[in-house]
Amino acid sequence: MEPASTQIASGPALSAATATPFAKYVDSHTHLDMTFTKFKFTGGWDAWRTNVLRDPNCEKIISVACEPQSLTVHEELARHDDIYVTFGIHPHNAKDYTDAIERQIIEIFGRTPGKAVAWGEMGLDYHYNLSPHDIQKEVFIRQIRRANELHLPFVIHTREAEDDTLAIFREHIPRETKMHVHCFQAVPSTIGFTGVVTYKSAKATQEAARIVPLNRMLLETDAPYMAPIPFRGRDCHSAMIPHTAAEVARLRGCSVEEIFRACRANTTEMYGV
């Protein structure tokens, strides 16, 4: 988690250094409710897009509801044409997972056809241990089963739990299932790269950016966290993605345009947006 911003960095200043004939992108993993809260922004989505993002190349947002209190908020966000949503319960909140919450998620999917595009984020997090490991595994498997029944892609969070995550994958997830493991972790999947790839200390993430097949890469923010250089220390938002794309392109020795095109196509393949 990064320290709070002292001011809002807006779109044009972020994109100038990464101008390209094709620069369309989707933020494939962000948390709009948390971002608005961190920025103390109360103007709503239209004002946010106009006054903060200010980048027409940011085509769409996939905002992730992963706490019980964010489910209803995201159902409302899905009413906007350029916002898509996912619903699930984060491993931090696994201890709060109930039959009622599960029913609420399933009902929301039924009410938001075409806009709710995946189940998650869900998974395991043994770094903070905010829910007991056995509860995390039980809730992870339970959500996988419900998502399988609905034929939905998965958004996966795994931190310091790769062995248990892979074991659950092997036992409970069909091979053909589409999975987005966000913020890069060492599991086979489509990988989302955040601003972390710009950090000098993020050697493993940078190596992954060099070697992950181009057809398995996504661009994401995990906003309001993980702002890229040169905005580290501020809160993050979707219009910072061009800096992440530029660093991935540098690491791979290719053009920024190639990264934008590939990741845009991969987002469509993963989520249908």
**Beta bridge partners of residue 30, listed in sequence order:** 63
Please state the pTM of the whole predicted model: 0.93
Q: Is the dihedral of CA 137, 143, 147, 149 positive or negative?
A: positive
Answer whether residue 31 shows pLDDT above 70.
Answer: yes
What's the chain's average pLDDT? 92
Q: Where are the alpha helices (DSSP H) in the chain?
A: 11-15, 32-38, 45-48, 71-77, 99-111, 133-150, 162-172, 203-211, 241-252, 256-271
Instruction: Report, as an integer, the average pLDDT of 17-21.
Output: 65
What is the pLDDT at residue 189? Answer: 77
Answer whether residue 39 shows pLDDT above 90.
Answer: yes
Domain 16-271 belongs to what architecture?
Alpha-Beta Barrel (3.20)
User: CB 272: neighbour CB atoms within 10 A?
Assistant: 12
What is the pLDDT at residue 182? Answer: 83
pLDDT in tens, 226-237: 999 999 999 999
What is the H or E stretch that residue 53 is in?
none
pLDDT higher at 219 or 12: 219
User: CB 95: neighbour CB atoms within 10 A?
Assistant: 13
Using alpha carbons, list the distances in angstroms from residue 84 to 21, 105, 112, 117, 146: 25, 15, 10, 7, 20
Quick one: pLDDT band at residue 10, thresholds 50, 70, 90? low
Where exactly are the structural domains of the chain? 16-271
Quick one: pLDDT band at residue 22, thresholds 50, 70, 90? confident
What is the pLDDT at residue 169? Answer: 94
What is the pLDDT at residue 8? Answer: 58
